[in-house]
Amino acid sequence: MEQEMAYDRQGKSYPVADFKDDYSGDKLGFWVFLLTEGMMFGVLFLLYGIYFYRHTAMFAFSSADLNIWLGGTNTVLLLISTYTMGVATLMMRQGKLKLSAMLVGLTIFIAIVFLGIKASEWGVDISHGIYPGSKLLDAKDTGEILFFGLYFVMTGLHGLHVIIGIALMSWVLLLMRSGGIHPEHTIVMKNVTLYWDFVHLIWIVLFPLLYMIGV
């Protein structure tokens, strides 16, 4: 499509930005969206901070109950996955479509493993009777109730974001096949990569907050 121009009184021409295929607009929009996500998680971090301040000892005590090795493995997995996703974008820009699709597939795989590990952790806690509203937990110290309440909410919300990430990356794979993403048109790919980066960054903060304060 030809670039549309606007003309001033001297007849000089200026390019007009259109809402269709506006690369910078799409990028800006996604950054603004990430800002809202940041505000949302920010509230949870704030709540965590306040209750940590009030119940420091009990938070550390409860944190020791969590399996740091499983959490740590998950952290490493997410680090790797964000790398594979980043390289996938790079390969896409270089025109290596097949390799790029493979890397996205790998990222999805790692994300699923992450969820599996997370599910088994939750499973163990729940089988021990530790979940929000359980009789066992409600009988404990308020610091413990709050820690596990926040633990389940924060990892749950993060897990939800991982699931959404998997859906988005699968959509990217479909778009690659149908030609919706190609080396000249990568904005969707870039935004999904950005999203996945964000999901991993949140976990990077969650991990020390939840798992490491008890070490």
Where on the chain is the footprint of another protein (CB under 8 A)? 4, 6-9, 14-19, 22, 24-25, 28-29, 32-33, 35-37, 39-44, 47, 50-51, 55, 131-133, 138, 142-143, 145-146, 149-150, 152-153
**Cα torsion for 98, 101, 106, 110, to the nearest 10°?**
170
Residue position matching structure tokens 């938070």: 59
Looking at residue 14, the DSSP 8-state letter turns out to be: E
Secondary structure class of 165 (helix, strand, coil): helix
Q: For another protein, which is the closer residue by CB, 32 or 57? A: 32
Q: For another protein, which is the closer residue by CB, 93 or 140? A: 140
Q: Distance between CA atoms of 75 and 72, rounded to whole angstroms? A: 5
Q: For another protein, which is the closer residue by CB, 12 or 98? A: 12
Secondary structure class of 15 (helix, strand, coil): strand
Q: For another protein, which is the closer residue by CB, 50 or 79? A: 50
Quick one: 138 exposed, middle or buried, by C-beta within 10 A (0-12, 13-18, 19+)?
Answer: exposed
Q: How far is the CB of 142 from another protein (least distance, A)?
A: 3
Q: For another protein, which is the closer residue by CB, 44 or 87? A: 44
Q: How far is the CB of 208 from another protein (least distance, A)?
A: 21
Q: How far is the CB of 162 from another protein (least distance, A)?
A: 17
Q: How far is the CB of 25 from another protein (least distance, A)?
A: 4
Q: Which two tokens stand for residue 151?
A: 């633990």
Alpha-carbon distances of 99 from 94, 96, 170, 175, 215, rounded to whole Å: 10, 6, 15, 15, 41
Q: For another protein, which is the closer residue by CB, 62 or 84? A: 62
Q: How far is the CB of 29 from another protein (least distance, A)?
A: 4
**Which residues is 182 bridged to in the sheet?**
185
Q: How far is the CB of 9 from another protein (least distance, A)?
A: 5
